[in-house]
Structure 1
Amino acid sequence: MSLNPLAEQYVKLVLAIGLHHPHYVDAYYGPSDWQPTIKEPLEAIQQQVTELVDTLKKITPSESETLRHTFLIKQSESILTFINVISGNAPKFDDESLALYDAISPNKTESEFDNVLLELENLVPGDGSLSERMVAFNAQFEIPKNKLDDVFKAAVVRSREITKQFIPLADNENFQLEYVTDQIWSGYNWYKGDNFSLIQMNTDFPIYISRAVDLAAHEGYPGHHVFNSLMEKHLVNEKGWMEYCVYPLFSPMSLLAEGSANYGIEVVFPKPERMVFEKEVLFVLAGLDVSQAERYYEVQALMQKLSYADNMVAKRLLDGEISEQHAVELLVKYTLVSKARATQRLGFIKANRAYVLNYNLGQDIVKAYIEKHANMQDKTSVWQVFADLLANPRPASLLV
């Protein structure tokens, strides 16, 4: 039995769920007549998804479609869990993350993070709490708003140039950049199809110099923009696998999307090269004092060890173990941000729930996969394995 009719059914069911949740369908560039014209009840959609999963599990795919078949099952099963979430029957954090993203976050403890805070205490001396001192320290590296566009565009241009040396991109690939406010995220890529993206940057809070490269690579090259372009080219256009013309945000696809976008930062900018580029180009464009750069990088490296604090807080909050006020306090303490920034992050957690693990756990899973399959001493080999992963996505349990 061909998977194509089932793939079409899957796409239409994802679009049907999109009428029940405004952010579920992150991207769609399939046939316009597949869009639903009426809002079906969730119970009816749930029954159709259950039947789709049952049918898929009865199929023995050809060898060339084994990965496609597995991914289609995982994606379809995640719809059933998401229906429970938006119906008010969300499972526990770990169960939700496994069902939606095919992975469970490591159970990090406060004591592990406390050890990192002790290291940072010595690097960022002064008065006030460590969070207050960190906010003041980072303020030295804030990109002035009137220079933000120049800095960010320089980072995008360079990441694009490097990416195109290793990944052939379509001649018409492009993006539009917008600066927005009043969002719960710092940056977002809205892929529109035909190799075009709208990239938005949220300017509600200060944007520090390190975020220029992070956002340029994560949202653009070789991150979300390239990921979506490669899927459209190789899977939708060349193979006719239409299930990839829709991207349901709360699904196994997101762990790879966010994980590869985060790991892609160090693929396009290995640390030594990144430091040179930032100090010689971005610091200058932003008008920042480069004399403090080395300590800034040292602090940033330690901050990476706190990345799983988001997951710890999200799990406790969503499992009903702590209040929202306590969650904000923990975010201030362990992510070393202001209360206002922590409150914004709380908004992201409440809206997106277990999605937070896709950034850190996703990055670690992709990193381990690349390191296993590529010659890490050969830049070309790293890029080849990375590009192949983007063009042939797989769920976390198959990233081995």
Structure 2
Amino acid sequence: MTDSNPTQQQSEFLASLNSQEHAHNHQLNQFAKDYVTLSLGVGEHSEYFVDAYYGPEEWRPTGDAQSLTSLTQDIKTLCELLTGGDIAADSFLYQRHQFLLIQSKALLFYAQQLAGQTASYERECELLYDAKVPFFDEVYFDDVLRSLDTLIPGEGELNKRFANYRQQFIVSPSKLSTVFDAAIEEARKRTLARIDLPTNENFRVELTNNQVWSAYNWYKGNSYSLIELNTDHPIYIERVIDLAAHEGYPGHHVFNALIEKHLVNERGWLEYSIYNLYSPVSLLAEGSANYGIEVAFPWDERLAFERGVLFPLAGLDPEQVEQYYGIQRQLHRLSYVDNLIAQRWINGDIDDDKACDMLVKYALNSPERAKQRLAFIKHNRAYVMNYNYGQDLVKQYLAKQVADDSHDALWQAFTDLLAEPKTASMMEGT
């Protein structure tokens, strides 16, 4: 909950603006309120749309839900007002204006979808997530599978061989808490050495099941998150650091805490107090959370930590680290399979059975895991591209910001991006 009275930090921020920027900021504050209230209104028609909200309680809808027709018209008006805004490109507030405009256009498109408007996968990527995603077809994935075929030990069909090989890297439920706690502690230590977070930041981890996702961060505001881990399927050792970093440090938990600290609390930009799941900010949220794993754990350091700490805690053979993670690197090249399947399923080119067959063949999923993954794709549609293309785009953007191979500089550029988010087109145009 954000106090309606300006904090000292907000007062200092306002005092730093010149008169023209102060007027623009005041106008954007009104647009921000409209954006938040309209987003909350759309959330009345879509259970999972508003992923987090910690703004003024009085902005929440009361009484009967506003109709989608009425909401759509109000969002159109907001987009028109923002499009007609006249903020110079060299203004301190230009990025705030552009971000709010892009987010509002995505809100309009999502409201139209809820009302029954259909769109292709490509249009969803562009209008919901502000992104034009590269295309990879079966020829690309067949090449990756051939590479994996030479790496995975054993005999027989690749999918079954991989499944058999991978069984030895499952973290037993009795050791999961200990192993996961060690990964979180290390990820937190590495992150806090580089990023100044609020002293009260914290999160709680709970186990759950019967979900289409493997893990979820529910940000509650006041630098606090609830992280849920889905136990429907076994958790393999590589997922431990991935989940600790992606959901926690320096991933979703840190991303939301920095936005709340710098943009909501210090500047009073309340459009950032709401996180619409199906919106352009998700590309950065998921992309930075995935790339943040590599930032916090550079490859050699990750292998050393796996070998020296996590594998022993999990009761796994540390001598297997090099081979296993060599295979994981190749498996990552298959991540764009989700995009191909989402594209063809959304566009009506394949049915559920064909989609599951592709997940089994090209993602090396078991039939059961393929069904769960398809359920996630059907529920979230084009959202799946935020993980892979988002990660690649964040990596490419940060590489342009860092003049040399300095890891300190990479951490700083990464932190700056989290504290002042950019959409895909903003990063692509840099």
How far does the alpha carbon of each residue in 1:210-258 deviate from its partner, in whole angstroms, 9 at most, with x for none? 1100000000000000000000010000001000000000000000000
Match of 2:215 in 1: 187
Distance in 2 (alpha carbons) for counterparts of 1:258 and 1:132: 30
Q: Please list every run of at least 4 consecutive aligned residues from structure 1 whose deviation after the TM superposition is greater than 3 angstroms.
A: 125-128
Report the Cα distance in structure 1 between the residues aligned to 2:384 and 2:396, rounded to whole angstroms: 19
Q: Displacement, 1:370?
A: 0.6
Please state how far the C-alpha of 1:11 moved relative to its aligned partner: 0.2
Match of 2:251 among 215, 220, 223: 223
The correspondence for 1:112, drawn from 137, 140, 144, is 140
Answer with 351-360 or 293-302: which moved more: 293-302
Matches of residues 119-134 of structure 1 in structure 2 within 5 Å? 119-134=147-162
TM-superposed CA distance for 1:380, in Å, is 1.1
Aligned to 2:265: 237
State the match for 1:100 in structure 2.
Answer: 128
| 8 Å contact kept, 2:54–2:274 | yes
Counterparts of 1:199-348 in structure 2, within 5 Å, are 199-348=227-376
Match of 1:35 among 60, 83, 86: 60
* 2:74 alignment partner, one of 40, 48, 58: 48
Gaps of 5+ in 1: none
For the 8 Å contact 1:156–1:213, the answer to whether it is kept is: yes
1:162 aligns with 2:190: yes
What percentage of residue pairs aligned between the two structures are identical?
50
Equivalent position of 2:18 in the other structure:
none
CA contact (8 A) 2:121 2:346 kept: yes
Which residue pairs with 1:24 in the alignment?
A: 49
Please provide the CA RMSD for this pair.
1.0
The alpha carbon displacement at 1:376 in A equals: 4.6
Return the letter of the residue paired with 2:87: P
**Preserved contact between residue 376 and residue 382 of structure 1 (Cα < 8 Å):** no
What is the match of residue 34 of structure 2? 9
Tell me the distance in 1 between the aligned counterparts of 2:157 and 2:122: 32
When Rg is computed on C-alpha atoms for both structures, the one with the higher figure is 2
Q: Is the 8 A contact 2:72 2:112 kept in 1?
A: no
Partner Cα distance (2:151, 2:247) in 1: 31
Residue 380 of structure 1 is matched in structure 2 by 408
SS of the residue aligned with 1:36? coil
Distance 2:403 2:220 in 1: 34
What are the Cα deviations for residues 184-220 of structure 1, in whole angstroms up to 9, with x where unaligned? 1111100000000001111110111111000000000
Tell me the alpha carbon deviations over residues 58-102 of structure 1, each in whole angstroms, 9 at most, x when there is no partner.
111250110000010000000111123223322100011100001
Residue 352 of structure 1 aligns with which residue?
Answer: 380
The answer to whether the 8 A contact 2:212-2:375 is kept is: yes
**Cα distance in structure 2, aligned partners of 1:253 and 1:97:** 12
State the SS of the aligned residue for 1:288: coil
Deviation at 1:175, TM superposition (A): 0.3
Letter in 1 for 2:43: G
- 1:221 is aligned with what amino acid? Y
Match of 1:276, SS state, is: helix
CA distance in 2, matches of 1:274, 1:256: 23
Equivalents in 2 of 1:181, 1:358: separation in Å? 24
Count, aligned residues: 400
| Counterparts of 2:396 and 2:404, CA distance in 1 | 11
Q: Indicate conservation of the 8 Å contact 1:332/1:338, yes or no.
A: yes
**Counterpart for residue 12 of structure 2:** none
Q: Please give the alpha-carbon distance, in whole angstroms, between the structure 1 residues aligned to 2:425 and 2:299.
A: 29
Letter of the structure 1 residue corresponding to residue 35 of structure 2: Y
Contact 2:306/2:321, CA 8 A, preserved across alignment: no
State the alpha-carbon separation in 2 of the partners of residues 313 and 127 from structure 1: 28
Q: What's the CA shift string for 1:356-391, capped at 9, x where partnerless? A: 000000000000011110145211100110000000
Match of 2:4 in 1: none
Alignment of 1:141-180 (within 5 A): 141-180=169-208
TM-score by length of 2: 0.92
CA distance in 1, matches of 2:378, 2:115: 15
User: What corresponds to 1:58 in structure 2?
Assistant: 84
Measure how far apart 1:125 and its partner are: 4.0
- Residues 179 and 203, structure 1, Cα contact 8 Å, conserved in 2: yes
Secondary structure of 1:140's aligned partner: helix
Segments of structure 2 that go 5 or more residues without pairing to the other structure are 1-23
Q: In 1, distance between residues paired with 2:58 and 2:66?
A: 16
2:193 alignment partner, SS class = helix
Contact 2:125 2:131 in 1 (8 A): yes
Q: Deviations over 1:26-63 (max 9, x none)?
A: 00000111110121110000000000000111111250
TM-score (norm. length: structure 1) = 0.98
The residue identity in structure 1 corresponding to 2:195 is I
